[in-house]
Structure 1
Amino acid sequence: MGQALCICSRSAITFDNKRYYFIQKLDEGGFSYVDLVEGAHDGRFYALKRILCHDREGRKEAQTEVEMHRLFNHPNILSLTSHTFMERGGKCEAWLLLPYISKGSLWAVLEKLRDKGSSMPESRILHILHGICEGLKAIHDKGYAHRDLKPTNVLLDDNDHPFLMDLGSMNKAKIEVRGSREAMTVQDWAAQRCTISYRAPELFNVESHCIIDERTDIWSLGCVLYCMMMLEGPYDLIFQKGDSVALAVQNPVSIPQPCSSTMVTNPQERPRISWVLDQVQNLQDSNGTDVDTNRV
């Protein structure tokens, strides 16, 4: 945990006796802000994520995100450089210092392709998908699920190497639901923490007695793959129009064949991540072409 953090000026902070200079804002969400900072000791860029903790539960959720980062040391999961909890004026903020990934999110790359009237070639899709699957496998192998996999939560470096980020919605892979009250608790949690257009069907109307497992991520993975192929998610337009995504995911939709095994309404019929990873590897082997990572 970061120690002796202080605000030395409007433009500098200190983690573990190392000074970082504010460069610019990168992103802003409902409860968090991300700034680009530069380490005075190494000249490297970092992303400083500040999470607003409005109450004890908010602080607990931020602590969980820190713990999830600490669980993994994997090339496809964004690492945590340092963190601290900052108390100011009776308010608490969790500060997470993360590596800065140059190209930004997968979604930003797809948006640029769409604006140019271009598309993502199959070899590049498979290259990125393989890394995403490797990251998911590491999470699933430890008995957890990401629960909010989407293009904005995948970062790409200059070599199109993907990093899974935003681990704040992660929890145990297996959730046993026993009774209508527990079902409503899980459903309400999913409504708050799992992005609607990438949310698995079983999280919209949670059954009173069921087991939800990590295959919620497999559905989301299919949506991400669809998005890479079509440059928009399968339910993005439905959400934008204000129509019911919950209803849409329960009915068959026209999706490209590679997505069909992952986007199955019944979670028990969805494959595990190891199977998906094998399929991606087989497609890469049969494709046999190099990836041009510098097009966007």
Structure 2
Amino acid sequence: MVDGRYQLEDARGSGSGGVVWTAFDRKLKRLVALKRPHAIASQGDRLRFRREAETAAQVHHPNAISIFDTVDGDECWLVMEYSPAQSLDKVLAAGGPMAPERVARIGMQVAAALTAVHARGIVHRDVKPGNILVDDDDFAKLTDFGISIWRAVTQTDIGTISGTPAYAAPEVAEGRPASEASDVFSLGATLFAAVEGSPPFGTGEPDEVLERVRRGDILPVTKAGPLAPLLSEMLAPRPGQRPTADEVRLRLKELVGDWEAPLPAVHAVPARTPFWRRPLYLAAAATVLVGAAAVFALVDSQPEPNRVAASNPSLIGDERTANPCALLDRKELAQFGPAELHTAYGNFNRCDVLVNVGGRETVDVEVQLVTRKSHPVRGEPFEIVEVPSDSSECDRTIPVDDKYSVRVTAKVPDPPTNLCAIADVAAKTAESTLRQGPLPRRATPFPAESLANVDACQLLDDAALATLPGMDRSSAVPGFGSWACKWYSLVSRTEVSLRYDQHAAQEPINGEPARLGDHDAFVKLDTDSSTSCTISVPHQPANRPQRTTVDVLVLTVKGPQAGAEYCASAKTLTTSAASKLPR
């Protein structure tokens, strides 16, 4: 029994990193996988273990093994989703090289998982056949997210590397840190091995393999067929020459066509003997967990663009000149009541039409240009996707291509019965405009002193972010136009978001007044979830003409604790960010 909860069942396998067991979780009544390293962990190892396990637990994707829990008492254990599938290296050992079409199917799913991983600012570090699970229907899952005490480390004459030598990228072989591009290289090396029967740099002693990696001595491609051009790009010696994980997914999707990996069927459990001991239950439990991972995916792969979107790579164009107001038609919305267009509500990526639907009821119809990395959504380009929302809102999202979406929201505190009808009209107008070609540009550029000219992600550096544990610039996820940015902690569920708002100059800003450095500020606690603290700083450069609106820097720190506990950190971060604003 581990941690008084996990009953060990069978040792599933042992490798260079550690031993994996199946176990029964007696609290949640489910089958899980437990992994323990061979070596005894030092205190430093334990700290890295906890930090990196929490990082890995951020990944929720149908093609990635989920991390459920950690046990780091006398022994370090990682509690993971259980899958009965075989690792790809064992599949290859038993059946030999695979057909290019099958390799493309597996690679497409792993690339989708990496897309989700990279969207969270996480680098896997050790993509290889042994870390990819494949079932009989070619459903694939990526596992082993580089936890330090299991990471295969090879000592070389120039230092240590993370990952497995035969699948390491050249920059990693030279001792540089692994990156998203390194993961793409390792996936390319894995697909090369699957289709050719050997890793691209051959086999042998680690030092010999690493030397071939550094020299770029790749074996000739003889069996890859239609995969060959993509493999060549993924195995490019320079990181900047390689495609992204999502670009790999899209390219492989073109090769596999309409094929989709089916989820395994759930088998009935016969009523005899303790149910967690029955073989059929073990398979059924794994299947349910796979299905649950798909249902509750928080970060998903990006859908592929259709031919229309692919033929319009510049549909959005320059983010800072694209005009979101071109996606709204005030006259169309006037059928629901008097309508007014407002070009300066909220962030610069947004435009609004206020519709008076009777009496004091005014519906705010808001359209936003967003990136799919910051607002993941399923759907084909130009498809109007219904997004779940609360009773005071009706949301629609329109994927534009593999990078952008348009978000349409109709909202009002006490909504009329036709709120979604209003949203649907606005969404249809936006969809029709997108189909006509590139989005029109803004009529006038932003004023020189506007925050629209400032990259939000550049306002917080590592020194400032260090006020929160486990947070640095590498976790930054920029929003559309770089007018917003989010950072995520590697050791907790804390996040920082910074965005720009446009606010009517004559209207007061909500919050308790405060003075942060040379700036006036307003501090506000979230009254709904009570787990965040938000600080607003109006940007009013000296000796500039008065405008009807004022730009506002808005910074929020959010986490699992009471919001008041984050206000000190929020003030420190806001002070640092505001000090970098143009004067």
Q: CA deviation at 1:282?
A: 1.1
State the Cα deviation string for residues 192-249 of structure 1 (Å, max 9, x = none): x311111110122247xxx963101111011011111023322342447x73432344
The structure 2 residue matched to 1:146, chosen from 102, 111, 124, is 124
Match of 2:236 in 1: 264
Candidates 3, 6, 9, aligned match of 1:23? 9
Counterpart of 1:176 in structure 2 is none
Q: CA deviation at 1:113?
A: 0.5
What is residue 201 of structure 1 aligned with on the other side? 170
CA contact (8 A) 2:65 2:142 kept: yes
Q: Distance between the aligned counterparts of 2:65 and 2:132, measured in 1?
A: 9
C-alpha spacing 1:140/1:50, structure 2 compared with 1 (3 Å): same
Confirm whether residue 162 of structure 1 aligns to residue 157 of structure 2: no
Identity fraction in percent? 25
Which residue matches 1:72? Answer: 59
Taking only aligned residues, the RMSD between alpha carbons, in angstroms, comes to: 3.0
In structure 2, the CA distance between the partners of 1:23 and 1:248, relative to structure 1 (3 Å rule), is same
Query: 1:262 offset after TM fit, Å?
Result: 0.5
Moved more, 157-166 or 102-111: 157-166
5+ unaligned residues in a row in structure 2: which ranges?
A: 149-154, 265-583
Please tell me the residue identity of whatever aligns with 1:112. Answer: A
- TM-score norm. by structure 2 comes to 0.39
Tell whether 2:190 aligns with 1:231.
no
Letter in 2 for 1:225: L
Over 3 Å counting, the alpha-carbon distance change for 1:55 and 1:262 in structure 2 is same
Match of 2:42 in 1: 55
Name the structure 1 match of 2:212: 247
Give 1:135's aligned residue: 113
CA distance in 2, matches of 1:81, 1:109: 26
Aligned-pair CA distance for 1:120: 2.0
CA contact (8 A) 1:84 1:95 kept: yes
Cα shift readout 1:236-295 (whole Å, capped 9, x = no counterpart): 42447x73432344234223424111101122211112221111111112xx5687999x
SS in 2 for 1:125: helix
Q: Is the 8 A contact 2:165 2:209 kept in 1?
A: no
Per-residue displacement from partner, 1:172-193 (whole Å, max 9, x unpaired)? xxxxxxxxxxxx9xx6342xx3
Alpha carbons 1:201, 1:246 under 8 Å: kept:
no
Structure 2 CA distance, aligned partners of 1:58 and 1:236? 32
Counterpart amino acid of residue 235 in structure 2: M
Work out the CA distance in 2 between the residues paired with 1:238 and 1:220.
18
Could you tell me which of 69, 73, 85 is aligned with 1:103?
85
- Kindly provide the amino acid, as one letter, of the partner of residue 200 in structure 1: A
When the two structures are aligned, how many residues end up with a matched partner?
249
Cα 1:22–1:136, aligned 2, differ >3 Å: closer, same or farther?
same
Once residues 61 and 165 of structure 2 are traced to their aligned partners in structure 1, the CA distance between those partners, rounded to angstroms, is 27
1:116-160 CA distance string (max 9 Å, x none)? xxx423332222111100011011112221111101011224432
Structure 1: any 5+ residue segments left out of the alignment? 1-11, 88-92, 171-183
Structure 1 pair 97–45 and aligned structure 2 pair: CA distance change class (3 A):
same
Structure 1 residues 268, 31: CA separation in 2 closer, same or farther (over 3 Å shift)? Answer: closer
Residue in 2 that maps onto 1:188: 159
| Distance of aligned partners of 1:50 and 1:290 in 2 relative to their CA distance in 1, 3 Å threshold | closer
Output one character per residue of 1:30-86: Cα deviation in whole Å (capped at 9) or x when no partner.
Answer: 553211223456764321112354312211231133112221111112112222212
Q: Write the deviation string for residues 76-110 of structure 1: whole angstroms up to 9, x where unpaired.
A: 121122222122xxxxx222221221122111111
SS class of match (2:234): coil
- Match of residue 416 from structure 2: none
**Distance in structure 2 (CA, Å) of the matches to 1:31 and 1:229:** 26
Contact 1:197–1:239, Cα closer than 8 Å, also in 2: no
Check whether the contact 2:173–2:213 (CA below 8 A) recurs between aligned residues.
no
Are 1:213 and 2:184 an aligned pair? Answer: no
Q: SS of 2:65's equivalent? A: coil
Instruction: Write the letter of the residue equivalent to 2:115.
Output: K
The structure whose RCO (Cα within 8 Å, separation 6+) is larger is 1
Which residue number corresponds to residue 81 of structure 1?
68
- 1:9 alignment partner in structure 2: none
Mapped contact 1:102–1:156 kept (Cα < 8 A): no
Structure number with bigger Rg: 2
| Secondary structure in structure 2 of the residue aligned to 1:152 | helix
Q: State how far apart, in whole Å, the 1-side matches of 2:124 and 2:181 are.
A: 10
Q: Does 1:121 align with 2:99?
A: yes
Aligned to 2:446: none
The TM-score, its normalising length taken from structure 1, stands at: 0.73
Cα shift readout 1:6-26 (whole Å, capped 9, x = no counterpart): xxxxxx3455xx4x4322212
